[in-house]
Amino acid sequence: MTQIKQTEHLVIGSGIAGLMLAHKLGQFGKVMLVAKQSLLETNTAYAQGGIASVLSPKDSFDKHIEDTLEAGAGLCHKDVVRLVVEHGPQLIRELIELGVDFTREPGGKAAAYHLTREGGHSERRVIHADDLTGREVLRALSDVVRRNPNIQIFEDMFAIDLLTTDKYNPQFGRNICLGAYLYDTQRREIIQVRSRATYLCTGGHGKVYLYTSNPDVATGDGLAMGWRAGCKVANLEFMQFHPTCLFSTKAKTFLISEAVRGEGAILKTAKGESFMQRYHPLESLAPRDIVARAIDAEIKQSGMPYVYLDARPIGEEKIRSHFPNIYSFCLEQGIDMTKDMLPVVPAAHYSCGGLVVDTWGRTTVHHLYAVGEVACTGLHGANRLASNSLLEALVFADRVAQKVKDERWDSIPEADVPPWVSSRITEDDELVVLNHTWDEIRRIMWNYVGIVRSEKRLQRAFDKISAIRRELQTYYWYHQIDVSLLEVRNLADVAFLTIQSAMKRKESRGIHYVIDYPHPRVDHPPVDTVIW
């Protein structure tokens, strides 16, 4: 029998967006916070660089806005950019009050906070906690939510699908989210959660690509669930490839923060010659889309599987003090970045698209909100400015909580929701098939929907992914629920949507580069790519 739980607010995801939102909702309501694995195993935990915000008297909101618009290649929503930038300092102050220990200039607690500069920024405005900013923010926020008696935390819970009235009790023109089906991965049980409002804070989908900086949990679960529930999605063709991930045969892809280049590291060819001056006036500090394509071009031209990042100009003392985590990890791989150049390659990093939301985080399904990388707010446009992502999550978590606090819902929406049915389910004895399918999806996306695309490659990817989705649809309904099955199902849906988005955009813009259309269209203003 399916277990049924009720709550006022169901927050799915425990990164910076989910924790900040749960913290704020928990000040006036009952919250159920769901983590796919442990509370701290999220993309946020791997965010090294920091949070971009105007904190220096030398900086200004207008400069930050201009840098964001420039990086976004004409597709940013200007009202959203201004909203996020102007609310940034307030949210940084809140993090400090909640106990986040950001790095200061030499001089101890009384000293000013150290600000670094990253690609595309005209000023130093990235506040950070050494090179483990995300982990420090999660530490502080998780402490806060654990202390709040209004917040129930459920770890090792996989969200399967959303409950909506369109599925069970259709109302003309009004699809309402009622909660979600969860899978308790430890007890292997299905739980039906009914809620007044549901919030997707599930992060991104970098694992849809073969090479990514993302952890294994980043399988696009919230994006796939939201789309299946009836949400609009937009701009999924804009998957940002981080230019500098450590090339290593010994470990999974490891991110080399953009702040390393911000402090003076230089990209060089396999022969040790700098090359970014041929691609952009900002050279190694150019926006990420330009740097990633430049590295891709140099790799193809040289035949080597990587280029180099030379951090030696930063100096040994600064490397050790500013980038202790990166320095120690590289040492474990046999590379001393104070003496040796780092072999680096681009890898899938961050999606600028997602579930379409308004300026209050509302999706196109009633009582369903999306915050963080899973959402498409319009801030990033066609290419994200470095360190704007954590800022966006903070600002929208604050706005969603403000909006919900003003809502007056008397009770959890009623609907005749049937119990979970598993009578046709058989035990799965071929999980190896799912592993092969997972690998196939990721290779298709890397080979055909990567840094450089063509219409022919996209059509080939579409045909292959469509066939995989048809197979998985039958597999899903007749086999025992398992994390591998749920993840590969979501990956296939996200790949399908990404390819559709890429096929619809008949131009190159920002991250999206198509050799058939090598330039942006100039015959009409750029628009978002929207899919239902």
pLDDT in tens, the chain (532 residues): 678 899 999 999 999 999 999 999 999 999 999 999 999 999 999 988 899 999 999 999 999 999 999 999 999 999 999 999 999 999 999 999 999 999 999 876 767 999 999 989 999 999 999 989 999 999 999 999 999 999 999 999 999 999 999 888 787 778 999 999 999 999 999 999 999 999 999 999 999 998 899 999 999 999 999 999 999 999 999 999 999 999 987 766 788 988 899 999 999 998 999 999 999 999 998 888 899 999 999 998 998 999 999 999 999 999 999 999 999 999 999 999 999 999 999 999 999 999 999 999 999 999 999 999 999 999 999 999 999 999 999 999 999 999 999 887 655 556 677 777 765 566 655 667 788 999 999 999 999 999 999 999 999 999 999 999 999 988 888 788 889 999 999 999 999 999 999 999 999 999 999 999 999 999 989 999 999 8
State the average pLDDT for the chain: 93
Taking only the tens place, the pLDDT of each residue in 202-223 is 999 999 998 899 999 999 999 9
Q: What is the DSSP string of 328-374?
A: HHHHHTT--TTTSPEEEEEEEEEES-EEE--TT-B-SSBTEEE-STT
Would you state the pLDDT for residue 412? 58
Q: Are 156 and 96 in contact (CB under 8 A)?
A: no
Furthest CA-CA distance within the chain: 68
Q: Which domains does the chain have, with CATH numbers?
A: 3-237+352-406 (3.50.50.60), 244-348 (3.90.700.10), 431-531 (1.20.58.100)
Is residue 269 classed exposed, middle or buried when 0-12, 13-18 and 19+ CB atoms within 10 A define those classes? Answer: middle
> Cα separation of 178 and 198, whole Å?
8
Q: Are 339 and 312 in contact (CB under 8 A)?
A: yes
Would you state the pLDDT for residue 93? 98
State the catalytic residues. 288
Strand order in the sheet with 307-310: 254-255, 239-246, 342-351, 307-310, 266-268
Q: Where are the beta strands (DSSP E) in 252-306?
A: 254-255, 266-268
Q: Are 373 and 208 in contact (CB under 8 A)?
A: no
Q: Are 494 and 510 in contact (CB under 8 A)?
A: no
**Integer CA distances (angstroms), 264 to 168, 310, 426, in order:** 57, 9, 58
Q: What is the DSSP string of 94-136?
A: HHHHTT----B-SSGGGSPBPEE--TT-SS--EE-STT-HHHH
Taking only the tens place, the pLDDT of each residue in 135-161 is 999 999 999 999 999 999 999 999 999
pTM metric for this prediction: 0.93
Task: Give the 3-state secondary structure of 450-478.
Answer: CCCECHHHHHHHHHHHHHHHHHHHHHHHH
- Token readout for 90 is 């307030």
Taking only the tens place, the pLDDT of each residue in 421-431 is 765 566 655 66
Would you state the pLDDT for residue 391? 98
Taking only the tens place, the pLDDT of each residue in 216-272 is 999 999 999 999 999 999 999 999 999 999 998 776 678 898 889 999 999 999 899
> Cα separation of 220 and 36, whole Å?
12
